[in-house]
Amino acid sequence: MAHEPSVLIVEDNERNRKLFRLVVESMGCRTRLTNDGEEALQAIEAALPDLILTDIQMPNMDGMKLIGLLKAEERTRSIPVIAVTSFAMAGDRERLLEVGFVDYLSKPIDTEAMQQAITRHLGIDRGSDD
Ligand code: MN
93-102: per-residue pLDDT in tens?
Answer: 888 999 999 9
* pLDDT < 50: residue spans in the chain: 126-130
For residue 75, how far is its CA from the centre of ligand 1 (angstroms)? 26
Domains of the chain and any CATH numbers: 6-121 (3.40.50.2300)
How far, in Å, CA of 114 to CA of 130, rounded? Answer: 25
How far, in Å, CA of 49 to CA of 99, rounded? Answer: 20
For residue 2, how far is its CA from the centre of ligand 1 (angstroms)? 33
3-state helix, strand, coil in the chain (%, to 5): 40, 20, 40
CB atoms within 10 A of CB 125: 11
- Residue 126: its pLDDT value, please? 47
For residue 12, how far is its CA from the centre of ligand 1 (angstroms)? 5
How far, in Å, CA of 115 to CA of 122, rounded? Answer: 10
For residue 3, how far is its CA from the centre of ligand 1 (angstroms)? 30
| pTM score, whole prediction | 0.91
125 Cβ contact partners less than 8 Å away, ≥ 6 residues apart: 119
